[in-house]
Amino acid sequence: MNRTNYSSGAKWEDIVGYSRAVRVGNTIEVTGTVAVDENNELVGAGDAYEQARFIIQKIEKVLQQAGGKLSDVVRTRMFVTDISRWEEYGRAHGEFFAATKPCTSMIEVKGLIAPEYLVEIEATAIICEP
């Protein structure tokens, strides 16, 4: 089975030793993703909904690079810094996944790598179509 790593070019990938996404066979794993654009600028400062929305769009882009799409996602994990804002994160998630309804978890964490990040999302996709 072939393995393909996808890089975003982020400086942390080489320091920490990870890939933006990895495809093995028909499975694509997308690493924890925060609301940072291609210029390393925060998107949606203080806005939980906007950060989650941007993150899912960012995940969609790497899935497409790897030959997948959001409808192939079978699992998401949302790590949030304030679970009381669950409806904001959930609204964004629901906008993208209402039809496919992947398994998901929303876990409150003490903090993410930088205090301005309110949510980090991981995804697993399995491509079932030939």
Per-residue tokens: 36: 């940072």
- Which CA distances in Å does 73 have to 9, 58, 66, 82, 112? 23, 14, 13, 25, 23
Query: Residue 19 pLDDT more than 80?
Result: yes
pLDDT in tens, 40-80: 899 999 999 999 999 999 999 999 999 999 999 999 999 99
Architecture of the domain delimited by 3-126? 2-Layer Sandwich (3.30)
Helix axes 48-65, 86-97, angle to 10 degrees: 30
Pairing, β 119-126 against β 21-24: unpaired
Q: Are 57 and 70 a contacting pair, CB within 8 Å? A: no
Running DSSP on this structure, what letter comes out for residue 16?
Answer: I
Domain ranges of the chain: 3-126
Residue-level pLDDT at 11: 76
pLDDT above 80 (res 129): no
